[in-house]
Structure 1
Amino acid sequence: MNNPRIRIVEDAYGRTRGPVAYLDESYQVPDPVVAPKETFYIFTAVLVASDQRDELRNGLLEIAGSPKWHTTKELLGDSGRAKTREMLKFLGEGSETCIIAFQVPVENDDYDGEIARRACYRGLAVELVTGGAGAWDPVDLILLEERNQLNFRAKDKRNHAELISEKRIPQPTQLLQTSPGVERLLWLPDLVSSAYRRSITHTDDTKTLFDAVKHQVHFAKPID
């Protein structure tokens, strides 16, 4: 394990007690020039128990046939669509819980979606750490796919810190931002977010992608 970023993730796993939540998003926000038909922000968490991580990683890699994956790109071709369906079926056959926080519509002046993102993250994080009776144990480690710009990563860190300072989530709750290249399990919320997005935006056969996992999904309310 020579990659220091992998070591950081493994060290975080060693300090966590419950399932780990993997987070990613999908969105369609207002455009000041060309207004989209509808706007939304979807933030998804997929919860994975420690004894399921290796099985899920290996299964995803076997289906993808590559160490790289991005659902949006894969859905552009027939082969990628078939693999996406297979991955969602693989996830749907497991015991993992999915939680989605979404806002529809996004406010007209929220051009970058940051207001909606903050509200969705806050609702999602509170649900994660609280636990769901009979559905999932409280989470104390959140892995979020990091964004490219440093200022956006700082915003995500600040959103998490605000929840701690407001005592909405416990002080020990960790937020770790990393990439799918470091932790393949971040493919999972990308898959679920994309599938749910398609159920809103599309009328072709990809509209039914979400059906494979909807029985595992709980919905969290965004909070201010």
Structure 2
Amino acid sequence: MRPEAIIVADAYRRTKAPVAYLDESYQTHNRDIHPTQTFYVFTAVVVRQPDMCELRVGLREIVGGDYWHSTEALQHHDGRSAMRDMLEFLAEGSEPCVIAHRVPVAADDRDGEAARRACYRGIAMELTVGGDGLCEPVELLVLEERNQQNFRNKDRANHRELVAQHSHLRNVRLLQTSPKFEHLLWLPGVVSSAYRRSITHHDITARLFGIIEHRVHLVKPME
């Protein structure tokens, strides 16, 4: 087992609570994007540990392998079909989905980091208190790690700040890893992509979110 996979497995052993898998989608300012078209979305899918193996097997069967990237998949028919199947697979299960959505992104938030922080804080707070019966309180948040170390450091700092401000979250941990080592990160990825398409597109892919919409709980970002 690779060291990264060992770290993930060890994190699971340290909690008996469900695990939340997080991913994001966003559209920030540039010369082609009007401020009213900007947004930041953080998505979480909560999975009970006894259900993890079955979900991984089901996802790999749908994808036909060990690699998945939602944005790439949406570029061709087979990928769009697989995304639909993944959303239907998730919709048929018992895993709650949570979305924190900020729109628009502030004009001075050029890289979206302030919006990311607010969305993460909102969704983390909801998950770690159980969200009015939405799920059991979560103690482990698994986030798809970003490519650059400085961004990973920012995510760790955001989490530490949230925990420091709310003493009841002192046992809540953040784990940043890659979907290569935890395929369950595909789940928030497909939900985020489907939600994004419902905002940015008017073609057939814009209707993908309708498959999972009834299972989604929306929360507000938190400053």
Q: TM-score range by the shorter chain?
A: over 0.9
Residue 211 of structure 1 deviates from its aligned partner by 1.1
Superposed displacement of residue 168, structure 1: 6.0
With the length of structure 2 as denominator, give the TM-score of the two structures: 0.97
CA contact (8 A) 1:125 1:169 kept: no
The DSSP-based 3-state class of the residue aligned with 1:21 is strand
C-alpha distance in structure 2 between counterparts of 1:30 and 1:109, whole Å:
9
Assess if the C-alpha contact under 8 Å between 1:46 and 1:98 holds in 2.
yes
Question: Which runs of 4 or more aligned residues in structure 1 lie more than 6 Å from their structure 2 counterparts after TM superposition?
Answer: none
Residue 33 of structure 2 aligns with which residue? Answer: 35
For these two proteins, the number of residue pairs brought into alignment is: 222
Of residues 210-219 and 40-49 in structure 1, the stretch that sits farther from structure 2 once superposed is 210-219
TM-score (norm 1): 0.96
Corresponding residue SS for 1:13: helix
Deviates more, 1:149-158 or 1:13-22: 13-22
Letter in 2 for 1:212: I
In the alignment, structure 1 residue 92 sits paired with structure 2 residue 56? no
Name the CA shift for 1:99/1:189 in 2 (closer, same or farther; >3 Å): same
Measure, in 1, the Cα distance between the counterparts of 2:74 and 2:32: 24
Matched with 2:67 is: 68
Structure 1 residues 120-169: Cα deviation after superposition (integer angstroms, max 9, x where no partner): 00001100101033320000000000000000000000000001111165
Residue 108 of structure 1 aligns to which amino acid in structure 2? A
Question: Relative to structure 2, which stretch is displaced further, 120-129 or 207-216?
Answer: 207-216
* Aligned-partner residue type, residue 60 of structure 1: L
- Report the Cα distance in structure 2 between the residues aligned to 1:169 and 1:72, rounded to whole angstroms: 37
Q: Match for residue 13 of structure 2?
A: 14
Change (3 A) 1:168 1:208: farther
Q: Distance in 1 between matches of 2:45 and 2:33?
A: 31
C-alpha separation in 2, matches of 1:133 and 1:110: 31
Partner residue in 2 for 1:51: 50
CA RMSD of aligned residues (A): 1.1
Q: Which runs of 5+ in 2 are unaligned?
A: none
Gaps of 5+ in 1: none
